[in-house]
Amino acid sequence: MRSRVLSLPLLLLAGVAAAGSIDVTVEIPRIDASEYHRPYVAVWIEKPDQSVAANLAVWYMQKDTSEGAGTKWLADLRQWWRRSGRDQSMPIDGVSGATRPVGRHQLRFDTAKAPFADLQPGRYGLVVEAAREVGGRELVRIPFEWPASASVHLEAKGSHELGAIQLDLNP
């Protein structure tokens, strides 16, 4: 408690002086399909043992149905469901939301705020998993070191359900 109290003004100062940011870009590719549904997507930070350090986004169908607001298919995000989803109560405040259309979607996080402010230094992975009704499933990982001492641009590319995935760390 004590160190937290002491460091709070410092954090605030740092926030004013130079707010660091983390940008995650997720591309949902255009797919030619006679029946196209927007994919369910989960974005999270994993530890080396694959446990979840933080959920960054979960996009799933919000429409109310007899089967329960689209949660029925959350388990199709196989790895996310196993690592985190099954332990959550949906919706997750500030994390979950509606499915997104084709295109690039940017998520911006502040280095001084949760979840990144709470991230212990170490090696992590950014994981993006997508699952599409009558389509496929794909999982893309980008390993990174936290915290970054200088700006870092990292990227990976999905092959079918995900396009370009980018991680920009700007301390």
Partner 1 sequence: MKLSSKTWIFAAVALALPLSAQAHKAWLLPSDTVLSAKDPWITVDAAVSNDLFYFNHVPLRLDTLAITAPDGSTVQPENSATGKYRSTFDVHLTQPGTYRIAVVNAGLIASWEEDGKPKRWRGKVEDFAKDVPKGAKNLKVSQSAGRIETFVTAGQPNDTALKPTGVGIELVPVTHPNDLFAGELATFRLLLDGKPAPGLEIEIIPDGIRYRDKQNELAATTDKDGAFSVTWPAAGRYWMETVLQGGKASLPQAQERRASYVATFEVLPQ
C-alpha to C-alpha distance for 71 and 87, rounded to whole angstroms: 13
Contacting partner 1 (CB under 8 A), which of 69, 107, 114, 117?
Answer: 69
37 counts as binding partner 1 under rule CB under 8 A: no
**Shortest approach of partner 1 to residue 31 CB, angstroms?**
20
Token duo for residue 23: 């940008």
- The residues, ordered by sequence, that sit 6+ positions from 51 with a Cβ below 8 Å of its Cβ are 83
142 counts as binding partner 1 under rule CB under 8 A: no
**Shortest approach of partner 1 to residue 77 CB, angstroms?**
9
C-alpha to C-alpha distance for 144 and 40, rounded to whole angstroms: 24
Token duo for residue 47: 């530890």
Which one of 7-15, 17-25, 41-49, 71-79 is the stretch in contact with partner 1 (CB under 8 A)? Answer: 71-79
67 counts as binding partner 1 under rule CB under 8 A: yes
Residue length, the chain?
171
C-alpha to C-alpha distance for 53 and 84, rounded to whole angstroms: 10
39 counts as binding partner 1 under rule CB under 8 A: no
**Shortest approach of partner 1 to residue 35 CB, angstroms?**
22
73 counts as binding partner 1 under rule CB under 8 A: yes
C-alpha to C-alpha distance for 107 and 116, rounded to whole angstroms: 13
**Local structure of residue 164 (DSSP, 8 states):** E
Alpha helices in the chain, H assignment, sequence order: 2-17, 78-83
81 counts as binding partner 1 under rule CB under 8 A: yes
**Shortest approach of partner 1 to residue 72 CB, angstroms?**
4
Task: Tell me which residues touch partner 1 (CB under 8 A).
Answer: 67-69, 71-75, 78-79, 81-82, 85-87, 137, 139
